Structure 1
Amino acid sequence: MGSTLPIALPALQTNPKFIFFTDFDGTITQQDSNDFMTDNLGFGTALRKKGNEDVLYGRRDFRGSFQEMLDSVTTPFDECIDLLCKNITLDPGFKAFFEWARENNVPIVVLSGGMTPVIRALLAHMLGQEAADTLQIVSNDVAPRDGKSINEVGGWQVVFHDDSGFGHDKSLEIRPYASLEERPVLFYAGDGVSDLSAAKETDLLFAKAGRDLVTYCEKENVPFTTFENFSDIHETIKDIVAGKLSVKAAATGRK
């Protein structure tokens, strides 16, 4: 049994005492790549915001809203990637946190409601190819539409990771770690509606200040702490790893 664990739970391979799960868009990046495509190439900001609001207040599921957003983008996929690489920027504190985590055996697992090829392309552009290749990413995918190539007009579509109403239920990735008898301390960082399924699953949740996830946590009484950028997360986790701060004391809510 023990020998099969690392395959099922890759983040355990180095026997870490802490694992950091994180959203990608609007968390590791300063802008959301899917929102950017929808606002600039798809049906626009007003319809996207209405869809997000409907998800946040339980009027519809994330999967349907997200599918509609991306279906409105008919630009060839390679052109989308090119545009995103020119416009999406990395959180100013992420690179330092990424390097510290690697040196201190804190695996980073990217759990995204977005699409793996977009995430890998952006990470390679912002952090270098090696980082893009080594980070574990669990996300949705992209496929060509019938008879087309993804790099032609109307040629690509999102392929969801699972059958849930989220399209990618992030809690499903975290729960096997959370249910281990002896397990690492689990962190999660996120900002929006695609993070709702993960919000209750870890020991400490970092919710981006001023975003939808904070509203949800307060509504549902989920313990959390806010962050402005990754420097805040880095400082808190460094103190927890060093034994200077407890997970419970760190969950200070809205600052």
Structure 2
Amino acid sequence: MINPVIFCDFDGTVTEKDNIISIMNKFAPPGWDELKNAVLDRRVSIREGVGKMFSLLPVSLKDEIIHYALENAKIRPGFQEFLEFAKEESIPVYIVSGGIDFFIEPIIERFGPFAGVYCNGSNFSKETIKIEWPNSCDEQCTNDCGCCKPSIMRKLSQNETYKIVIGDSVTDLEAAKQADFVFARDYLKAKCEEWEIPHIPFETFYDCIEVLKTKTGVRG
């Protein structure tokens, strides 16, 4: 494994549940469930679906949403230990998330170190929440991803980079196709099995540490 770099999802991966789905379940704007199903069924793009879901929420809920996210985001066991292991092994860890900055940043700020954090932005200047897309698809991607994980991987990787993807959901599918090694759970695991993408299932980040120890030759 030469020049490994880790690209790790956030919602449903670092956290045990998807924060967008959790927030939408809590505040339940009419029409959000249909949009969620359309994204999962790939009838609408992630960018379109997520943008429309948040546009159903008034900006007056911002502080309440942040408070709810902080109170309810349960971090998957072993995450900080995983980051410390990666640091000891000089493996950069990038968080690449289809989530939104205004709730990701408060949740993740006590963890680290990270080589970088990439996610979607937010604008509260109008009546409803507007999602912004600072990490849109490059010329090689036509999936209208929102936060385009394959594009970020291409930008951050060299030819000899060994790309490790950790994820769980529809936002990780295209990244998994590009990876040299995938840790997968939930929806992503099922799709990796269906599409015969080589992967290792995981439940905690301790699982990821143990697998990486074997690949890096580190003795536990």
TM-score (norm 1): 0.74
Distance 2:156 2:146 in 1: 21
Q: Is the 8 A contact 1:175 1:201 kept in 2?
A: no
Q: Matches of 1:193 and 1:108 in 2, distance apart? A: 21
Question: Aligned partners of 1:238 and 1:70: how far apart in 2?
Answer: 40
Query: Which amino acid in 2 is paired with 1:60?
Result: V
The answer to whether the 8 A contact 1:109-1:135 is kept is yes
Provide Cα deviations, 1:172-209, integer angstroms capped at 9, x if missing partner.
0112455x33x23210001011112211111001111x
| 2:205 is the alignment partner of 1:238 | no
Q: Which consecutive unaligned segments of at least 5 residues does structure 2 have?
A: 138-142
Alignment partner, residue 140 of structure 2: none
Q: Which AA in structure 2 matches 1:157?
A: K
Gaps of 5+ in 1: 1-15, 147-153, 245-255
Name the CA distance, whole Å, in 1 between partners of 2:208 and 2:182. Answer: 10
Q: Distance in 2 between matches of 1:89 and 1:40?
A: 16
Distance 1:57 1:216, change over 3 A: farther
From 35, 39, 50, give the equivalent of 1:55. Answer: 39
Give me the CA root mean square deviation. Answer: 2.4
2:170 counterpart of 1:193: yes
Q: 1:81 aligns with which of 43, 62, 66?
A: 66
Give CA deviations for 1:118-152 in whole Å, capped at 9, x if unaligned: 2111012xx35xx37x5511111011233xxxxxx
Quickly say closer, same or farther: Cα 1:229–1:193, change in 2 above 3 A.
Answer: same
How many residues align? The count is 211
Q: Aligned equivalents of 1:119 and 1:191: distance in 2?
A: 17
Q: 1:118 to 1:135 in 2, by over 3 A?
A: farther
Candidates 227, 238, 249, aligned match of 2:202: 227
TM-score, normalised with respect to structure 2: 0.85
Instruction: Report the alpha carbon displacement of residue 66 of structure 1 after superposing the two structures with TM.
Output: 1.3
Give how far 1:155 is off: 4.7
**C-alpha deviation, 1:113, in angstroms:** 0.5
> Residue type of the partner of 1:29?
T
Larger radius of gyration: 1
Q: Give the aligned partner of residue 105 of structure 2.
A: 120
Q: Does residue 1:136 correspond to 2:116, yes or no?
A: yes
